[in-house]
Structure 1
Amino acid sequence: MSSSPPAPADTAADAAATENLLRCWIRETAVPEPADAVLKVALPASGVSVEAPVHYWSPVGWHRFGPARLAGTGTPLAAPALAALIAVETAAADPAAVADLTARVADSTRRTADFVRHRAEHPADPEGTTPFLAAEQALVTGHPLHPTPKSREGLTEAELRAYSPELRGSFALHWFAADPSVVSADSALPGRTAQGLMAELAGDDVQAPDGTVLVPAHPWQAKDIVSRPAVRELLDAGLLHDLGPAGAPWSPTSSVRTVYRADAPVMLKFSLGLRITNSRRENMRVELERGTAIDRLLSAGLGDALRAAHPGFDIVRDPAWIAVDALGTDGGPTGLDVVVRDNPFRESGTSVDGPEPIRALCAAGLVAPRPDLDPAQPGTASQLAGVITALAERTGRTVADIADEWFTRYLDTVVTPVLWLYATYGLGLEAHQQNTLVVLDDDGWPVGGRYRDNQGYYFSPTRSTALYGWVPDVGRDLGTYVDDEVIDERLAYYVGINNMLGMVGALGSQGLADERALLRRADETLAKLAAEHGDRLLLATTLRTAPTLRCKANLLTRVQGMDELTGPLEAQSVYVDLANPLAGASR
């Protein structure tokens, strides 16, 4: 009996997962471009070779492939089968690692199929969806160079529908009331405490016992933490009260754990014990403190200096936090902690930090392939392709010409301010595409950017003293003072490879531009920055001329079971040497 053919969503999801695995393998093992347009991967640990037709070979790694098959027999390989073979090749001595990667790839592929199917059946955004939220929900296939971009271990199907941005989920917050003795908080908001802000957000929907402090949680986290011994002890002692879900629905953004409402002055970033991609997303206390420290630094003068030099660029602030502490002398974390993030991305009204409704879109969401938009060409449709095509039609210019100018403006308004900030003040931003927002004008041209993330700040021991005039010794107690060589390596990956070259790869792989021409544009921008900042921005010269760049290896990081949020900064991920596609770009 023959089985029915796979549904288009299943085919698209498997194709995306297969391409991700092959891209990762090529990048992390330095596989050269094949001469005959057929990729051949020898896997001696399993005694087999895998082949896939090359549809597009990207100078920066955003390759496109047809279905993978076993060489010789032609047997089709679904993504989980390919993952198992790759895992055996990299971790044959660790059966648990092989099983883990295989299971996570299968989980990610299945969830991607669900997302593609749902979005194809429901193409229109719900009424009231802001441009910001639409972009946050657009990462249907996820990071193109990660083996398990949509793996979400531990969610039921009902929870997946409610908590997934790709499915346009929404939910009420789960509220707790805590005795003030077990609450820690900080606020850089003028005249407002974190406790007072939580009460405002709860409004009349939540009734707390007298003398207690309201603390919200993600509903998945609320269900999980009540069985943790530290939280159980607080509940049993009457120091914590579980009030249940209440209030208007909030929507998950691209990170899943940060939630948004178009009518709220803030967003909320929760702890979420799910393993999303490589890490369990639990807030650490130093990250909470880092957000308010950066907010105070911006308010003291850095924000004005940044806007004066680059008026279109800013940092999204995390001006407050609140957490419930465990009992005991150290008052450790309970998993019940909340970052308060400013929300300037509203259709009307003001944010917590002032009036600034703007059209800012997540860069990762903007470039993400959207097989739900065009199942016949699953790797070429994206929001960015729509923007550039519309500009070409409106202006009568070619798509390639528009893409070239769009990328040049992106370099000037988004990438350059990040590198300027590092050169001038020694403050490095982990500005990968998901942490980067692009501000577009009404026509779709980049006119600015925003950075958001309280985890990804690096302070330079040699240059961050330039910040001390505003806040003496800022960052010294935040765990992010590391050697310049480490910062350069991280920024070369996050800003250079992931963000800048990722934009090149998206434009090239989606048929919008010649990547070599875009690499020349990037080289011109970096050359100008190198000339302007000299030894204060050696990174610009490194990105232009180094034969290899250090690049995060998402596949090997996943196989080795590393958690990117724990451990010393220098050892949270596997890094490999990547042939630098910018070297020689000027020629």
Structure 2
Amino acid sequence: MNATPASDGCPPPNPSGARGTQSPKPSQAPQPSQAPGTAEPRTVPRQKSRSLEAGVPRPSTADHRDLLDHPDPHTAAQAAAVENLLRCWVREKGIAAPEQGALRVPLESSGTALLVPVDYWSPTGWHRFGLPYLEDGPNTAPPADAVTVAALLSRETAHTTVPHPAESRLAESHPAESHAIEPDGPEPDGTDPEGYEPDGTDPDEVEANGTEADRTEANVAVRGASRTRAAPTTPTTHEATDGADLVARVADSVRRTADFISDRRNHPADTPDRFLAAEQSLLLGHPLHPTPKSREGLSDSESRLYSPELRGAFPLHWLAVHPSVLVMDSAWTERGRTIPADRLTARLAGPDLTLPDGHAALPAHPWQIRELRHRPETAALLDAGLLKDLGPHGDPWHPTSSVRTVYRSGTPAMLKLSLALRITNSRRENLRKELHRGVEVHRLLRSGLAEQWQAAHPGFDVVRDPAWLAVTGPDGEAVTGCDVMIRHNPFRPDDDATCVAGLVSPRPDPHATGHDRTPTRSRLAAIITRLAGRTGRPRGAVATEWFLRYLQSVVRPVLWLDSEAGVALEAHQQNTLLLLDPDGWPTGGRYRDNQGYYFRESRRGELDKRLPGIGQVSDTFVSDAVTDERFAYYLGINNVLGLVGALGAERLADERILLAAFRRFLRDTASGPDRLRTPLPARLLDSPVLRCKANLLTRLHGLDELVGPVDTQSVYVTIPNPLHA
């Protein structure tokens, strides 16, 4: 992302944090006035011409460039990977904000520390870091790369243990008993962020008239808001791995990210299908995941075909399934009549696919077919003729941002395929209960709930998953990996429907001109900048209004569903699709995912009245305690606070103002005239700490998020709540 002048009243980069292609190495020793083990100013090594206390000279204008814009794609990918690892570590280990421009990360197991230039400190966790240096390395040593950082962080967790979820939630319920939280005091500049009127004049005055001193003080206040530490974890018997897996996957993710950046710089223009273009825009991946683009087991030639970031496309591979091993369900209706799932797949295959009599057409990902041939249960079905390999067939389909869900412009359905690649934290194969869950939610919404929801929020809905096919072995057991979820496609090629993760993800500007400059910024930054130019308003004011519209268009409808039906959505940014008007303002949204539903146990009776027998095979009822924890993370932290952090990190808005706006929205939702009875607003407002998924620790402990009970699939840690006042 390009470093943007702070003339809009947004916090500037840290005074000593200007980033060049290779930053001068920070000092090897902390200043005497600083607490050891936290932070130290960014200074040069001891030299004859400069004392140890001398500050880092600001790089020249030519060098003052975000490393994501570096002309070498591999350097840009390294910078992105290092930032992700450090963001994860800072959040998951509760590392406090530095007083000045460099962060010291102790590495006790290695007897050293990382000295990290800080370009922007975010109260919501979307920090911007320069490349780190080893504290005890020689002055001429280059900065540490992503593989080195991953190996060092792995050593720090080699003998640690995962906290038990119940004990961790106890820490949140009784924070005073588990760890100390520094009391909130007035902001260093004497202001109260709650006093900002997000839709009034104060932000405009700050943005238009704030002095450099004002902005510097505001940045100190933002940094100070994050100085509490996470709760210590409670030991259990689940030890971390040796870190080799993490290091390998970090290297794989960096290599693939470099390929994605290089390809997009050479071919920046988006496809005319707007939904598909948005699905292909998530080049860097989750900003708080250590290996967002690792796809272990995918060759370079396969990556070209199967990666949305490379705009891949491929024909599906088809199997013919004998009726004795076929299992399916459908609630897909046309003109009031249910269409069986096998008829839907036959339509999608087209008339040229020759099927044996009585068999069903089952689409599969081409990579998955290779995997299935080596599995004993599917090999036996192929040998017995109960599965017949029909080969690749039909027009190409395009992978969406999840990699395994495929889309073809103009077709009535998308297909969520099984794919045994490890992507982020899991091997992405459909589970039978998730197939049932997608159809069950569609039937629940058709019971009258959708009409109630649409009456309150006509711009929001769920992308439905109303049909599926799968294979069962002769013993009656599910055959994993041979299944498909048929998802309704509600989008026309000209609909501006974009997943939020792609909207905020930095990428080479598709409208950039010239060959010597490759600006990297998000589409959201382009929208806000264009709206500000068109209206003549400061970007900070436009960004705040955009954020408020997002809360009403997306967040309130999701809260309504929990309030009125007891259904919480796993609405993280990649599962959330935002509908934009021609100017780029939010107008509505869609939720997609047949996995991510939480039926509250306390609302079982109400839901069973709406749909008798609900949850019996889908395993969707979850205790209210777990539901509250996951809902707060996915909607509160990942989605909304992630959006706040993205706007702040690109200098589009002051995060304090956005947090104040979010607090006001939550108060209105909890106690206003149109209040909702979901517990999430009160939780986000009143709890001094929140439970947060720890993607780095989840990876280091070798957990798969699709395996085991929902409350033990991931590592969660306790972090300070930036909304708590």
Give the TM interval when normalised to the shorter protein. Answer: over 0.9
Report if aligned partners of 1:369, 1:378 keep a CA contact under 8 Å in 2: no
C-alpha displacement of 1:465? 3.2
Per the alignment, residue 508 of structure 1 pairs with: 648
- 1:206 paired with 2:353, answer yes
Per the alignment, residue 504 of structure 2 pairs with: 367
Alpha-carbon RMSD: 1.9
Question: What is the aligned counterpart of 2:400 among 253, 257, 260?
Answer: 253
Pairwise mapping of residues 425-436 of structure 1 onto structure 2 (< 5 A)?
425-436=565-576
Which has the larger helix fraction? 1
Per the alignment, residue 145 of structure 1 pairs with: 288
SS at match of 2:97: coil
Q: Runs of 5+ in structure 2 lacking a partner?
A: 1-66, 161-238
Change (3 A) 1:317 1:95: closer
| In 2: Cα distance, 1:306 partner to 1:475 partner | 21
Report if aligned partners of 1:230, 1:327 keep a CA contact under 8 Å in 2: no
C-alpha displacement of 1:453? 0.2
Change (3 A) 1:205 1:288: same
| Residues 553-583 of structure 1: per-residue CA shift (max 9 Å, x gap) | 0000000000001101110000001100001
SS at match of 1:498: helix
| Residues 383-418 of structure 1: per-residue CA shift (max 9 Å, x gap) | 111111111112111111110000000011101111
Per the alignment, residue 65 of structure 1 pairs with: 129
Per the alignment, residue 299 of structure 2 pairs with: 156
Amino acid across the alignment from 1:484 = D
Report if aligned partners of 1:326, 1:332 keep a CA contact under 8 Å in 2: yes
| In 1: Cα distance, 2:648 partner to 2:300 partner | 36
Per the alignment, residue 221 of structure 1 pairs with: 368
Structure 1 residue runs of 4+, over 4 Å off?
A: 92-96, 371-380, 532-535
C-alpha displacement of 1:92? 5.1
Which has the larger displacement, 72-81 or 257-266?
Answer: 72-81
C-alpha displacement of 1:302? 1.2
Per the alignment, residue 692 of structure 2 pairs with: 551
Per the alignment, residue 116 of structure 1 pairs with: 261
Change (3 A) 1:98 1:37: same
Q: Runs of 5+ in structure 1 lacking a partner?
A: 348-356
| In 2: Cα distance, 1:379 partner to 1:436 partner | 26
Report if aligned partners of 2:500, 2:578 keep a CA contact under 8 Å in 1: yes
Amino acid across the alignment from 1:362 = C
Amino acid across the alignment from 1:218 = H
| In 1: Cα distance, 2:76 partner to 2:248 partner | 19
Pairwise mapping of residues 166-205 of structure 1 onto structure 2 (< 5 A)?
166-190=309-333, 191-205=338-352
SS at match of 1:124: coil
C-alpha displacement of 1:222? 1.2
Pairwise mapping of residues 339-350 of structure 1 onto structure 2 (< 5 A)?
339-347=485-493
Pairwise mapping of residues 477-556 of structure 1 onto structure 2 (< 5 A)?
477-532=617-672, 536-556=677-697
C-alpha displacement of 1:331? 2.7
Report if aligned partners of 2:240, 2:702 keep a CA contact under 8 Å in 1: no
Report if aligned partners of 2:240, 2:700 keep a CA contact under 8 Å in 1: no
SS at match of 1:152: coil
Question: What is the aligned counterpart of 2:156 among 76, 89, 100?
Answer: 89
Change (3 A) 1:539 1:379: farther
| Residues 165-213 of structure 1: per-residue CA shift (max 9 Å, x gap) | 0000000000011111111000001231100011111112311122211
Aligned residue pairs, count: 568
- 1:12 paired with 2:79, answer no
Pairwise mapping of residues 234-313 of structure 1 onto structure 2 (< 5 A)?
234-313=381-460
TM-score of the two chains, using structure 2 as the length reference:
0.76
| Residues 43-73 of structure 1: per-residue CA shift (max 9 Å, x gap) | 0101110011100000100000111111143
Report if aligned partners of 2:321, 2:387 keep a CA contact under 8 Å in 1: yes
* Greater relative contact order, per chain length (Cα 8 Å cut-off, separation 6+): 2
Which has the larger displacement, 69-78 or 247-256?
Answer: 69-78
| In 1: Cα distance, 2:542 partner to 2:675 partner | 32
- 1:453 paired with 2:453, answer no
Per the alignment, residue 353 of structure 1 pairs with: none
Which has the larger displacement, 43-52 or 207-216?
Answer: 207-216
| Residues 520-561 of structure 1: per-residue CA shift (max 9 Å, x gap) | 111011111111587932221110121100000000000000
Question: What is the aligned counterpart of 2:117 among 53, 56, 66?
Answer: 53
Amino acid across the alignment from 2:331 = A
Report if aligned partners of 1:424, 1:463 keep a CA contact under 8 Å in 2: no
Report if aligned partners of 1:370, 1:378 keep a CA contact under 8 Å in 2: no
Per the alignment, residue 95 of structure 2 pairs with: 31
| Residues 441-476 of structure 1: per-residue CA shift (max 9 Å, x gap) | 111100111000000000112234333443124224
| In 1: Cα distance, 2:321 partner to 2:365 partner | 16
Report if aligned partners of 1:380, 1:511 keep a CA contact under 8 Å in 2: no
- 1:385 paired with 2:535, answer no
**Between the two proteins, what is the percent identity of the paired residues?**
57
| Residues 359-381 of structure 1: per-residue CA shift (max 9 Å, x gap) | 21100000011156689999960
| In 1: Cα distance, 2:490 partner to 2:621 partner | 29
C-alpha displacement of 1:124? 1.4
Amino acid across the alignment from 1:181 = S
| In 2: Cα distance, 1:380 partner to 1:400 partner | 20
| Residues 407-442 of structure 1: per-residue CA shift (max 9 Å, x gap) | 000011101111111111110000000000001111
Per the alignment, residue 352 of structure 1 pairs with: none
C-alpha displacement of 1:36? 1.5
Change (3 A) 1:279 1:379: farther
Per the alignment, residue 421 of structure 1 pairs with: 561
| In 2: Cα distance, 1:54 partner to 1:501 partner | 20
SS at match of 2:677: helix
Report if aligned partners of 2:314, 2:397 keep a CA contact under 8 Å in 1: yes
SS at match of 2:381: helix
TM-score of the two chains, using structure 1 as the length reference:
0.94
Report if aligned partners of 1:225, 1:334 keep a CA contact under 8 Å in 2: no
| Residues 2-39 of structure 1: per-residue CA shift (max 9 Å, x gap) | xxx99621111000000001100000011111012101
| In 2: Cα distance, 1:377 partner to 1:483 partner | 52
| In 2: Cα distance, 1:105 partner to 1:441 partner | 38
Pick the structure with greater CA Rg: 2
Amino acid across the alignment from 2:635 = V
| In 2: Cα distance, 1:535 partner to 1:318 partner | 27
| In 2: Cα distance, 1:291 partner to 1:485 partner | 23
| Residues 268-287 of structure 1: per-residue CA shift (max 9 Å, x gap) | 00000000011000100000
SS at match of 1:153: coil
Change (3 A) 1:95 1:512: closer
Report if aligned partners of 1:380, 1:510 keep a CA contact under 8 Å in 2: no
C-alpha displacement of 1:312? 0.7
SS at match of 2:470: strand
SS at match of 1:45: helix
SS at match of 2:474: coil
| In 1: Cα distance, 2:269 partner to 2:645 partner | 28
Change (3 A) 1:474 1:53: same
